[in-house]
Amino acid sequence: MTASSLHLFVLVVPLLSALAVNLLGRNSRQWIAPLVLGSLTFSVFASLIVLVRVINQGTLRYTVGNWQPPFGIELVVDPLSALMMVLIAVVALLASFSSLKSVEQELPGREHLFFTLYLILIAGLFGLVLTGDAFNLYVLLEITSITSYGLIAMGRGRAALSSFNYIIMGSIGACFYLLGVGYIYILTGTLNMADIARILPTLNAPVATATAISFSLVGLWIKMAFFPLHTWLPNAYGHAPTGATTMMAPLMTKVTVYLMVRVILSMYTPEQVFTHAWITSSVVWAAALAIICGSAMALAQKDLRRMLTYVIVAEVGYMVGGVFLANANGLTGSILHIVNDALMTLCLFLVVAAIIYRQGSVSLVSLQGIFHRMPVTMAAFTLGAFAMIGVPPTCGFFSKWYLILGGVEAGRWEFVIALVISSLVNAVLFFRIIELAYFGSLADGEHHEHAASERHEAPWWMLKPLVLTAILLIVVGLSTGPLVDNVIRLMIPVGF
């Protein structure tokens, strides 16, 4: 392992341990947890080292197998991809503690299969943020999608149907993206992103370029469940095994948003993407609608997990809208929100996993009086809720700040109003649950404490990562300044 290829090992170690989990875990279950946690812990530390190195030394480029671009596949680690690596590694590690417990309960005997797919999916996500090659990106996108179809289909009940639905939508999205890349290849003769970015502006082919851009972006929008292409997501995440959702909900959509940002910044140029005012304008409108409709649908749900899946749809609207505000604050807000939303979603889904582990259901009715049964879990839930509402100093406030500021600067009041309304709706959504959890059933007119309900907190394996995530929400919020100055600002193109 040479120091310069450390970022490659961030990806390779989980991939190899996926194999090991399958082979060793088949016969003896006790191998699974050390392999999963060990490889992901390695990824966390390695990616942190890579991040520090990139901040100090600038972008790292690495050619796989020493094949030089444009023929070989290039891995590019700039501050943003290093940040995403850290994010993926941290979220995956924290989620897997909880997933190990959930899977043990829900899929006994199939743990090794589950965690094989789980680790391949994470390795695929690492690959997605590392690659500097447009076609390689497609391949990795399919790897992550196929593993997630598998993970979702392992759930009970209608999981297989939801997974099938997702396969259809996901394949359409992949086709769109591939068509876009095809156009680009015809135009430029290369698949290396840096090369494309160099050649494309020199060609005088606005219509072909616009077609390529539209195809690739629509493909990604389907994959990230951008309204109105979101219909697959609530079912897929709602029916998947709990352990799978805990990791996928925070990471999948966020990484796809990252890909959109990456494609806009590194493959095309912002000028090319934002040429037509009516297009950016309609995307921002769609984002505003995504936020409002996602929030409204979330209000209508009777189950915490399904409610959260609609919140994700709204949050995707935040990020896409922020990018298409086409100014520095909006883009900063979107990138910051990728990080923050991943952590908030992780926090809330860890709570869901903990409650499901203890009582099997997260329907709103079953949450009555749960503050008394699981006080620590619900305290973390409250913090996660505050972050979703955007109460400072939790991280959710700061990305919302940049997004609204970007909206004000761009004069996109529909987006500003949508964000404010969404904050208010989130307050209603989450306080409805906090109220249920705090008051319990009032039917008997008694104080809940007198009712017979024992304290029955989640197991330590689920509780510790949850508490850590909740603390992270505040720590990341308070370190917004350094995060923006040292990482995100570096990615904003000059004069943007």
Single-letter amino acid, residue 472: L
405 interacts with another protein by CB under 8 A: yes
Rounded to the nearest whole angstrom, what is the least distance from the CB of residue 475 to another protein in the complex? Answer: 10
Residue matched to tokens 């004000």: 408
Least distance to another protein from the beta carbon of 317, Å? 18
d(CA 350, CA 462): 7
Q: Which of 24, 160, 420, 490 binds another protein (CB under 8 A)?
A: 420
Closest approach, Cβ 291 to another protein, in A, equals: 14
- Whose Cβ is closer to another protein: residue 232's or residue 398's? 398
User: Is the C-alpha dihedral spanning 122, 124, 125, 129 positive or negative?
Assistant: positive
**Contact residue for another protein among 442, 451, 459, 460 (CB under 8 A):** 442
Pick from 4, 11, 124: nearest CA to 57: 4
Whether omega for the bond prior to residue 393 falls within 30 degrees of 0, making it cis, is: yes
**Nearer CB in complex with another protein: 327/345:** 327
Task: Give me the residue label for tokens 């590690």.
Answer: 93
Q: C-beta of 478: minimal distance to another protein in Å? A: 4
CB crowding 26-62: b at 16 or more within 10 Å, else e? eeeeebbbebbeebbebbbebbbbbbebbeeeeebeb
* Using rule CB under 8 A, residue 243 touches another protein: no
How many Å apart are CA 252 and CA 125, to the nearest integer? Answer: 8
Contact letters for another protein, residues 145-174 (x by CB under 8 A): ------------------------------
Question: Minimal distance in Å, beta carbon 107 to another protein?
Answer: 38
Q: How far is the CB of 295 from another protein (least distance, A)?
A: 13
Binds another protein (CB under 8 A): choice among 424, 441, 456, 471: 424
Residues 252-271 that bind another protein (CB under 8 A): none
Name which of 121 and 389 has its Cβ closer to another protein.
389
Nearer to another protein, 38 or 392 (CB): 392
Tokens 């090794």 sit on residue:
112
Strand, helix or coil for residue 391: coil
* Pair 92, 251: CB distance under 8 Å: yes
Question: CB 328 → another protein: shortest distance, Å?
Answer: 11
From 46-54, 196-204, 265-273, 427-435, span contacting another protein (CB under 8 A): 427-435
Chosen residue from 216, 245, 246, 423 binding another protein by CB under 8 A? 423
Instruction: Give, as ranges, the residues between 330 and 369 that touch another protein (CB under 8 A).
Output: none
Binding to another protein (CB under 8 A): which residues in 447-486? Answer: 447-449, 477-482
Nearer to another protein, 259 or 314 (CB): 314
Q: Is 210 in the site for another protein (CB under 8 A)?
A: no
Window 375 to 404, contacts with another protein (CB under 8 A):
386, 389-393, 398, 401, 404
Query: Are the CB atoms for 88 and 121 separated by under 8 Å?
Result: no
Q: What tokens appear for 27 in the block? A: 């016969």
Name the token pair of 250. Answer: 């925070």
Instruction: Report, in Å, the least distance between residue 435 CB and another protein.
Output: 7
Local structure of 154: helix, strand or coil = coil
Give dist(CA 291, CA 310) in Å, integer. 10
Residue entry with tokens 């309900």 = 453
Question: Of the ranges 20-28, 239-247, 438-446, 460-468, which one interacts with another protein (CB under 8 A)?
Answer: 438-446
Q: Which of 439, 441, 471, 493 binds another protein (CB under 8 A)?
A: 439
Residue 77 bridge partners (DSSP): 60
Residues 6+ apart with CB under 8 A from 120: 14, 15, 18, 143, 147
Contact with another protein (CB under 8 A) among 31, 42, 135, 438: 438
What minimum distance in Å lies between the beta carbon of 408 and another protein?
Answer: 5
Q: For residue 124, give the nearest of 267, 18, 249 by alpha carbon.
A: 18
Dump the DSSP string for 206-269.
HHHHHHHHHHHHHHHHHHHT-TTS-THHHHHHHHS-HHHHHHHHHHHHHHHHHHHHHIIIIIS-
60-63 and 74-77 strand pairing:
antiparallel
Size of the residue set binding another protein (CB under 8 A)? 32
Q: Which position among 72, 168, 201, 435 is part of the footprint of another protein (CB under 8 A)? A: 435
CA distance 199 to 196: 5
254/400 with CB nearer another protein: 400
Helices (H), 26-133: 32-57, 79-106, 111-130
* Binding piece for another protein, criterion CB under 8 A, among 115-123, 164-172, 346-354, 417-425: 417-425
Question: Footprint of another protein on this chain (CB under 8 A)?
Answer: 386, 389-393, 398, 401, 404-405, 408-409, 416, 420, 423-424, 427, 431, 435, 438-439, 442, 445, 447-449, 477-482
